[in-house]
Amino acid sequence: MRVKEPSTTIIFIRHGSTDFPEDRVYKGDNGPNLNTEGRLQAERLGGWIREGDISAIFVSPTTRTIETATPIVKTLKLEYKILDDLKERGFGIWEGLTFREIEDQYPDGLEKWKRDPINYTPQDGESIIDLQKRVSDVVQHAIQEHRGEKVVMVTHMGPIRVAIAMALQIPLTNYRHVQIHPGSATRIDYGITAANLIYLSAIPGGNRP
């Protein structure tokens, strides 16, 4: 029989919905605010997570993640810590463009990205390997500082996808196969020898934290 390991829980929250077009690459600045639905999603998360016995909250330094974290912080009466490593992947010169515009303006780069989506780096941007490195760093830091506890990370789809791929040892080439809904929670329990995905892209009203 498998003996249950002590574990550290990380609940990854994707920020709520915005009005930013889905076919356009997010810019590296603070980005858009939550829209009406996004604010409702944040409020639901705040109510849902109140029974979660959370020790710490880490937040990406964008407007949409801070707005998403605010009701959670209010509920738990905790201060959040801003971590740059929780930012979305940087796309450099591609930021703010649609993929049609990228195809028109940077066709060679787009072809290289299609051939090697893991290692290709847009000018002034990051590769998925770069993203994996900083997400790994922040996860390991949380495990060391809050061993055996529960923490929340309010972040973006890219970092959550990469965290799942690392935890379950999914090839990074398949990371985009995981879909994370706005305003949702994904829980991973990090044990001594293995990590377990407890729930994925859960909408408040289902699983408890």
Catalytic residue numbers, as ranges = 15, 88
Handedness of CA 149, 145, 54, 85 (dihedral sign): negative
Torsion of CA 173, 177, 183, 188, to 10 degrees: -70
Contact between residue 126 and residue 89 where contact means Cβ atoms under 8 Å apart: yes
Instruction: Output phi, psi for 51, to 5 deg.
Output: -95, 15
- How far apart, in whole angstroms, are the C-alpha atoms of residue 71 and residue 77? 10
Distance set, CA 205 to CA 46, 49, 184 (Å): 12, 10, 11
